[in-house]
Structure 1
Amino acid sequence: MSYTALVTGASAGLGEEIARQLAALRVDLVLVARTERRLDAIAMQLRRSHGVSVEVLAADLSETSDLERVAARLADDDTPVDILVNNAGFGVLAPFERSDAEEERRLHEVLSWAPLRLSHAAIPGMLGRGRGWILNVASVAAFTPTGSYGAAKAAVVSLSRSLHARYADSGVHVTALCPGLLQTEFHERMGPHLPALSRLAFADTRRVAREGLRAVYRGSPVVSADWRYRVARPLTWILPDRLLERISAAGDHAPLAR
């Protein structure tokens, strides 16, 4: 039986790595990101390396028309999508009191509204086929007071838990993957605003992708990726919010977790 996965934010970082690991499993792909040129290059490489079908869908998920095009692709029963990976995201550098309201809107539309909308488009077909997997990339920031970024990621975790509880018995599994720091373009784009951190704080992107795919296959509603963040997560239950905020949002309050 062949499977097809749609991956958002697939042109770099964790999204690209998840797409590569799915291709290695002989899963056909629909790659979604804003930059069509980069998607085309990745698609060509994956077709040659793994012999899978790869479709490219350039879209900016903060734009309603683009988001609806992706939703329509997910709802197309003639070319069904079995696996949805909601990975697209970015961070707002400025502190909340100085941030641009339009950027805050875009942040929440990409980080929390887009996963909800795309899951809403995908689940009816998955239920009809009796199988489906949705991997929502959240963040360990969801468990800490990290401003609007953490709030958006907390919404993703809550949505994933709710959908998993509602649909797991029907064969549709939903998982929130919560990485910490990853050595990807997500943090490189923050440039000098990102505080100097030990490389020991960064998790391996390949391992995080692998853990996320295993978790959604096994039916885990939430997984904190990488052992160091699983060890640290209980601290979020006992440390004061003011201390957690200082640890989690250093520098210009840029989010320190994916």
Structure 2
Amino acid sequence: MTTALITGATAGIGAAFARRLARGGHDVVLVARNKDRLRESATELHDRHGIEATTLVADLATEEGIAAVEARLADREHPVDLLVNNAGFGNKGEYLDVPMADELAMLKVHCEAVLRLTTEAVKGMRDRRRGAVINVASVAAFVPRGTYGASKAWVVQFTQGAARDLAGSGVRLMALCPGFVRTEFHQRAGMGTDNIPSWMWLDADKLVDAAMKDLARGKSLSIPDPRYKTLTSVAKLVPRNVLGGVTSRTGRKYGPK
């Protein structure tokens, strides 16, 4: 039986990954900050699917939190076959409105943690010649708007570059770029969503199903919805200064996951 480790596993896309993988018979390691929610999620997955669900309390905005997850990924006696780097958050406000400490915390979660955890996981996977990493980015990666989008653009570029370097090793890496997903993400960041058209919202479980199919197909980039595939294709054709002006009027606070 294979084991998947999921960060940000108690809500939203992370919880959807946990449900999908447990339903498929995978043992899971759930990583998040809230001990009670972790225990509740693990119990539910174990009782419903009969898999082993363990928990790891870790705040990936801290050195201690990242190191704790690295240590679990380095355990060769209990290898992790699939890593899902899903933990993340957004800051409300435009550039210079957000405290530098908050910006740096976001970069630590989105970039440093993703780099370090991916690297630790891939070391063992390459030795075993099997395994996969899904790094959750965002369609915001393709829009020149704010630190959030910039950090997610880094996730996409890093993941696709590493995937090329690991070609033929038996290890697959994929960047997942969802759009607006009905999760706790916007509420936690204090972001309003009233102006988001209903057609732009995605279901987390359907998104994860599509992502897993893209991973099985060997894709290094997954934009798991035709609507957002079209939007990102258009975004690549629009001049950057025009696109930046449009997203500025839309407002950073409405950025997708």
TM over 0.5: yes
CA distance in structure 2 between the aligned counterparts of 1:242 and 1:223, rounded to whole angstroms: 26
Could you tell me which residue of structure 1 aligns to residue 13 of structure 2? 14
Please identify, of 22-31 and 163-172, the stretch whose mean Cα deviation from structure 2 is larger.
163-172
Are the equivalent residues in 1 in contact too, given 2:91–2:189 (CA < 8 A)? Answer: no
Are the equivalent residues in 2 in contact too, given 1:249–1:256 (CA < 8 A)? Answer: no
SS of the counterpart of 2:48?
A: helix
CA distance in structure 1 between the aligned counterparts of 2:205 and 2:193, rounded to whole angstroms: 22
TM-score (norm 1): 0.95
Are the equivalent residues in 2 in contact too, given 1:28–1:53 (CA < 8 A)? Answer: yes
CA distance in structure 2 between the aligned counterparts of 1:219 and 1:21, rounded to whole angstroms: 19
Could you tell me which residue of structure 2 aligns to residue 126 of structure 1? 125
Structure 2: which 5+ runs fail to align? none
Q: How many residues align?
A: 257
Could you tell me which residue of structure 1 aligns to residue 185 of structure 2? 186
Could you tell me which residue of structure 2 aligns to residue 173 of structure 1? 172
Moved over 4 A (4+): 249-252
Are the equivalent residues in 2 in contact too, given 1:92–1:99 (CA < 8 A)? Answer: yes
Matches within 5 A, 1:188-207: 188-191=187-190, 193-207=192-206
SS of the counterpart of 2:25?
A: coil
Please identify, of 203-212 and 150-159, the stretch whose mean Cα deviation from structure 2 is larger.
203-212
Are the equivalent residues in 2 in contact too, given 1:31–1:54 (CA < 8 A)? Answer: yes
CA distance in structure 2 between the aligned counterparts of 1:187 and 1:99, rounded to whole angstroms: 16
CA distance in structure 2 between the aligned counterparts of 1:88 and 1:148, rounded to whole angstroms: 16
Q: Go from structure 1 to structure 2 and tell me whether the alpha carbon gap of 1:192 and 1:70 turns closer, same or farther (over 3 Å shift).
A: closer
Deviation at 1:217, TM superposition (A): 2.4
Could you tell me which residue of structure 1 aligns to residue 89 of structure 2? 90
Could you tell me which residue of structure 1 aligns to residue 50 of structure 2? 51
The one-letter amino acid paired with 2:141 is A
CA distance in structure 2 between the aligned counterparts of 1:147 and 1:100, rounded to whole angstroms: 13
CA distance in structure 2 between the aligned counterparts of 1:251 and 1:231, rounded to whole angstroms: 18
Q: Deviations over 1:27-59 (max 9, x none)?
A: 000000111111111100000000000010010
Deviation at 1:181, TM superposition (A): 0.5
Deviation at 1:100, TM superposition (A): 0.3
CA distance in structure 2 between the aligned counterparts of 1:191 and 1:107, rounded to whole angstroms: 15
CA distance in structure 2 between the aligned counterparts of 1:145 and 1:252, rounded to whole angstroms: 12
CA distance in structure 2 between the aligned counterparts of 1:151 and 1:114, rounded to whole angstroms: 15
Could you tell me which residue of structure 2 aligns to residue 155 of structure 1? 154
TM-score (norm 2): 0.96
Deviation at 1:167, TM superposition (A): 1.2
Are the equivalent residues in 2 in contact too, given 1:181–1:201 (CA < 8 A)? Answer: yes
Could you tell me which residue of structure 1 aligns to residue 66 of structure 2? 67
SS of the counterpart of 1:122?
A: helix
CA distance in structure 1 between the aligned counterparts of 2:90 and 2:249, rounded to whole angstroms: 14
Deviation at 1:255, TM superposition (A): 4.8
Are the equivalent residues in 2 in contact too, given 1:173–1:217 (CA < 8 A)? Answer: no
Deviation at 1:122, TM superposition (A): 0.7
Deviation at 1:130, TM superposition (A): 0.9
Q: Go from structure 1 to structure 2 and tell me whether the alpha carbon gap of 1:27 and 1:106 turns closer, same or farther (over 3 Å shift).
A: same
